[in-house]
Amino acid sequence: MKNNNDYKGKKILIIGLAKSGYAAARILDRLGADIVVNDIVPLEENAQAKELKRMGIEVICGSHPLSLLEKDFELIVKNPGIRYDNPLIAEAIERNIPVITEVELAWKISEAELIGITGSNGKTTTTMLITEMLNGGEKKPLAAGNIGTVVSEVAETAEADSIIVTELSSFQLMGTIEFRPKIAVLLNLFDAHLDYHGTKDAYVAAKAKIFRNQTKEDFLVYNADDELVSAIVATSESTCIPFSRKKQLEIGACIKDGEIYFNHEPVISLSNIALPGVHNLENILAAVATAKLVGIDNEWIERVLTTFHGVKHRLEYVETLNGRKFYNDSKATNLLATEKAISAFHEPVILLAGGLDRGNGFDELIPILQKHVKAVVSFGETRKKIQEVAEKAGIQHTKIVSNMEEAVDAAYRISDKGDIILLSPACASWDQYKTFEERGDMFVNSVHKLKV
């Protein structure tokens, strides 16, 4: 960790603990900042807050009182999940107090170079692919961010001979000021998290922060097939490296004659790639471009792509029972992710979908439902909306259920040999489950119960 003097003696408020707030508190305390930690969970139920208090850090729990701002803080570090319309955050912004997420802190203290990956879909798969590919290079890759380990926690111990590969959400990026990755990867953009950002323009602006501070010395790997991505990339100062599944490119990664190319050099035949799904080709192209920029040789890239079968909860193969194949795509929390998951299969699909109602409609799914889906089982807050869209698409078999076990059982009863039973919810999980991982695990467990 760099001995960063930017924070020494500085009055800093940390709002929201969980992993990121706890890591930020420990690091800033070590850097000599004068910090106060504020978390909504009462102290008696808050193990992290108790630990920080034992370290001598001032901790205020149970609410977010506006009176905190009378302490004249110079900086606020916000948990990414706390929205900007939170009264305490909104008042801080009104008072011109800078509000950051721990990603900014991570960049400031890191001795290692950083690769940042963002987009509406495919971030986790691409981050995992890049990390695996970079294992064949001179610098040790360290995966961090939305993929699991807090970025600042990784940056705290990362040395100069490492490279941090970071999955970044719009929530994290919105709270950056000087953040500047050596390589930024922008996969795709469409309507998402509008309940958090308010407008699509605000969402896109948050994503664009991944490259806003880059210069010609830095690289921006971007999806040339996405019109919105291409439009905002045109405003960057970065050295831009495109990838395309549809077009042949002079520079960057593309597909030609059944092979993936990078800058006119064949890298791997498509027939040798283990990861299923047309949409995953975009993730693969982005990863190949990034790996080549870091200097990874084709032999190692091919080794990764012939053995990498995917990420848990992202088109994860679960089981084949009596000729029916089950796939867990619980990480599909928006429409595009579900559309791509369905299109990965040529067989008839029985779709399990539903979850948190963010106020959006589902009509965009109608074309893909008409093409591939024979039945829809819906659950959660959006169950009726999804059933209505399925009926609009002309799907005759629809069913509303209360929970995942009922959904799996209903899908299996409807199915025939050769069908795909796919959990791809198109919604966040928070109406019934704490995380999409918990929802996916419930699906997997319910599938296994069918064997009993």
Residues making up the binding site for ATP: 119-125
Give the separation between CA 447 and CA 325, rounded to whole angstroms: 10
CA distances to 47, 156, 199, 254, 447 from 41, in Å: 10, 26, 29, 49, 35
Give the separation between CA 401 and CA 378, rounded to whole angstroms: 6
Question: How distant is the alpha carbon of residue 130 from its chain centre?
Answer: 14
Q: Tell me if 286 sits within 8 A of 243, measured CB to CB.
A: yes
String of DSSP letters for 379-440: -STTHHHHHHHHHHTT-SEEEE-SSHHHHHHHHHHH--TT-EEEE--SS-STTT-SSHHHHH
Q: Which amino acids are annotated as binding site, given as ranges? A: 119-125
Encoding tokens for residue 96? 């011109």
Measuring CA to CA, which residue among 310, 244, 302, 231 is closest to residue 275?
310
Q: Tell me if 181 sits within 8 A of 210, measured CB to CB.
A: yes
203: which residues sit within 8 A by CB, 6+ positions away?
A: 170, 189, 191, 192, 193, 194, 197
Segment holding 108, helix H or strand E: helix 102-109
Q: What is the CA radius of gyration of the chain?
A: 23
Measuring CA to CA, which residue among 443, 442, 448 is closest to residue 319?
448
Q: Tell me if 130 sits within 8 A of 290, measured CB to CB.
A: yes
Which residues are registered as beta bridge partners of 78? Answer: 15
CA distances to 320, 326, 407, 439 from 451, in Å: 10, 13, 16, 20
Counting runs of H as helices and runs of E as strands, what totals does the chain give?
17, 20
Measuring CA to CA, which residue among 398, 381, 380 is closest to residue 389?
398
